[in-house]
Structures are given as C-alpha cells and as structure tokens.
C-alpha cells in the first residue's frame, strides 16, 4: 500500500487572506464618478468609504488604503461640485 505524502508546512502555515471591503470598493467607485458626473455622489462615496475604513481598521476586511483614497477623492469631488453650484446660482 502506498501512503499519501505528508502535508507541506508551507500550505498549513499560510493564513487565508481577508476579503476586500465591498463598502470601500463602492465608495471609491462613487467618489471617482463624482469627479466627472453627478458631483453630489462624492458625499455618498465618502460615507461608504468611511464605513469600509472602519471595518478595515478593525481587521475584518482589507482595503484601508482604497478607503482613504475614496474619502479624499469623494471630498474633492463634492467640494468642486459645491463651489460650482454656488458660483452658478449667484
């Protein structure tokens, strides 16, 4: 009878990677869209990215850097939208 080879220590030692935060991904996508179309979506992107950042900071999911980028891009998109809205109404 042939015996099966013992499991390799590398396969047993590698931990499973955490999933990427869906909140972070959606927040970043909406933030990017807010730069070109519908600037008010930047505020929604900031909120979603902040939720993803909170989960990533707790170690539940990955995507902390993308969440930070979503917050920054969303803020920039919303500020440009707000300034443009104020200038056009006056």
User: What tens digit of pLDDT does each residue of 54-86 get?
Assistant: 999 999 999 999 999 999 999 999 999 999 999
Structural domain includes residue 10: no
Give the gyration radius of the chain's Cα atoms.
21
Is there a domain that residue 61 lies in? Answer: yes
Q: Is residue 65 one of the residues assigned to a domain?
A: yes
Mean pLDDT for all residues in the chain: 89
Tally of domains in the chain: 1
- Give the CB-side neighbour count of residue 69, counting CA atoms within 13 A: 11
Task: Tell me whether residue 20 is exposed, middle or buried, using C-beta atoms within 10 angstroms of its C-beta: 0 to 12, 13 to 18, 19 or more.
Answer: middle
11 located within any domain: no
Domain that holds residue 39: 20-89
Has residue 62 been placed in a domain? yes
Query: What pLDDT does 39 receive?
Result: 87
- Asked whether the beta carbons of 49 and 70 are under 8 A apart, the reply is yes
The pTM score is 0.79
Residue 28 to residue 74: CA distance in whole angstroms: 8
């Amino acid at each position: 009878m042939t015996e099966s080879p013992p499991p390799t220590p590398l396969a047993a030692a590698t931990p499973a990677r955490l999933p990427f935060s869906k909140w972070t991904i959606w927040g970043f996508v909406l933030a990017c869209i807010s730069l070109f179309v519908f600037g008010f979506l930047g505020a929604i992107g900031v909120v979603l990215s902040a939720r993803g950042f909170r989960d990533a900071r707790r170690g539940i999911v990955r995507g902390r850097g993308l969440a930070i980028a979503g917050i920054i891009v969303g803020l920039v998109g919303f500020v440009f939208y707000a300034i443009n809205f104020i200038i056009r109404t006056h």
